[in-house]
Amino acid sequence: MTSLDQFEGHGAHADQARTSSSQVRVHPDNHDDGDAYHSDSDSSSVSEHQDTRKEKSRKPGNSAFRQQRLKAYSPVFTASNVIPLLLILAIVFVPLGAAMWYASDRVQDLAINYAHCEKLASADHWSAIPDEYLDYHLKDKSYKQPQWRLSKDESQQFEDESNVCEIQFNVPRDLKGPIYFFYRLEKFYANHRRFVKSYSEEQIIGHAASKHTVKETSGQNCQPMSTHKGKIIYPCGLIANSMFNDTFSSTLSAVNGTADDYKLTNKGIAWSKDKNRFKKTKYSHKDIVPPPNWYKRFPNGYNETNVPDVSTWEEFQNWMHPAGLPTFNKLVLRNDDDTLKAGTYQVSVGLHWPVLPFKGGKYIYISQRSVMGGKNPFVGIAWMASGGVCFVLSIFLLVVNLVKPRKTGDMSLLSWNREKAAEDEKAVEQSQQ
C-alpha cells in the first residue's frame, strides 16, 4: 500500500469515527431530538425514492421494433422498372376484365316495373306495359311486348289488399337454368344508421329478450318499434316492420300452350349461414304482438299456431340483410335444374307494399347466373379501364424517357446545386463581358 492510500484510509476511518460519535451524542439528549432525527431520516428516504422514480428512463426498449431498426425496402422508381411494371399490370388487367365482362354479358335477364299497375292497368282487358317500365337484356331482341291486367283476390279480408297485378311476358329463346326470380326495389334507402341498427339479435337467435333488452341495448336496439301496449313486438325494429310483403305466384303459367308451366320454389333462397343464425322463438304468444305494419297479416294478433318461425322463413331472413344502395334485388324464388323454355308466361303479384308515396319502383326480375354471379358489367369494365390506364401511362413514360432522359441520382438537379450553377454561369458571362 502506498503512503497516499494509507493517508486516505486513515482519513476514511477518522470520518467514520466522527460520524459515529456524533450519532452517539445525538441519541441520549432527549426524546424530541430523537423524533426529529427519525423524521429527518424518513424525509431523506422519501426524497431518495422520489429521485429514483425520476431517474427511471422513458426511453423505449432496445429492440428492433421499438428503435425502428426493422428491415425495410425502399425501392427507387425509375423508368427502367416502372414502365415494365405498368405493362405487366395492363397485360393482366385487360384480359381478366374482358373475361369478367364477357361472363356478365352472357347472362340474360328481364325486369318489369309493376309499381304503376294499380293506376295504369285495366281490370277489363290486357294492355301493353310502357317501354319505360321494361329493362330487358336478351340475346334475341324480337320479344313480344309484355302486358298487364289488374284483378282482385276475393280471399283477402281487406279491400285495399285485394289488388293483384297479372303480368304476361315473352321469352323468345330458351333460358338455361338455374333461373332466379327476384324482386327489385328502387329509391328505398335501407342504409340509414337508425334503420340498420333497429333490430334485436337476441330475438333473431330465438331468445325471449326482455323489454329492457329490446329497448335499451347500447348501439343496437329496436327503438322506436320495441313495445306496443305493454307487450313486446316480435320481431321488433324498423327493419322487420318495413318488410316487403308483395306476394308472387310460385309457378310461371304458360299462356295458350306456348310452353309448359315453370315451377319455382322459395326453398334455398337465403344465405346458408342464416340457418345457424335464425332460430324459432321461445316467446309465449301471450307476451308478444306483431309489428304495426303487419296488422293486416295478423289482424287478431298472435295465437298458438300463427307465431312466425323465422328459422324457416327465408324471405324474412333475406329482408333482414339491409342493402347498402337504394336499388337492390332480393331473391324470392328459384329453379336450379330446369330450362325456361321459349314462350309466353304469366305471373300474379299480390300488391301490398306501396312505393309510389316515396316515388320508388318495384320490379319482378328474372335472371340467369354466371361464374361472376348475376349480370354486372361494371366489374369487368373497371378492370379493363384500369389496365388501359396502366398501358397509356407506360407508353407516356417511355416516350418521355426517350425524348428527355434523366440521369438517375443526378446531383446537379438539386435545388442548391442549381442555384450554384446559375451563379457560376452568371459569373462567367460577366467575366466575358
pLDDT digits (tens, 9 = 90+) for 321-361: 999 999 999 999 999 999 999 999 999 999 999 999 999 99
11-25, 195-209, 419-433: least confident range:
11-25
Mean pLDDT confidence for 269-278: 92
Mean per-residue pLDDT over the chain, rounded: 87
**Torsions phi, psi for 413 (to 5 deg):** -85, -5
Q: Is the confidence at residue 22, as pLDDT, over 70? A: no
405-420 residues labelled b (16+ CB within 10 A) or e (exposed): eeeeeeeeeeeeeeee
> Which of 316, 353, 342 has the alpha carbon at shortest distance from 115?
353
Q: Is the confidence at residue 9, as pLDDT, over 80? A: no
Task: Tell me the three state secondary structure of residue 143.
Answer: coil
Cell of 417: 446545386
Mean pLDDT confidence for 99-115: 95
pLDDT classification of 42: cutoffs 50, 70, 90: low
Q: Tell me how far apart the alpha carbons of residues 225 and 193 are, in angstroms, rounded to a whole number.
A: 15
Q: Is the confidence at residue 105, as pLDDT, over 50? A: yes
**Is the separation of the CB atoms in 358 and 188 below 8 Å?**
yes
Mean pLDDT confidence for 242-247: 97
Cell of 175: 333460358
Q: Where are the alpha helices (DSSP H) in 1-151?
A: 3-26, 31-55, 79-105, 117-120
| Confidence at residue 427, expressed as pLDDT on a 0 to 100 scale | 82
Mean pLDDT confidence for 111-140: 95
Q: Is the confidence at residue 39, as pLDDT, over 80? A: no
Q: Is the confidence at residue 52, as pLDDT, over 60? A: no
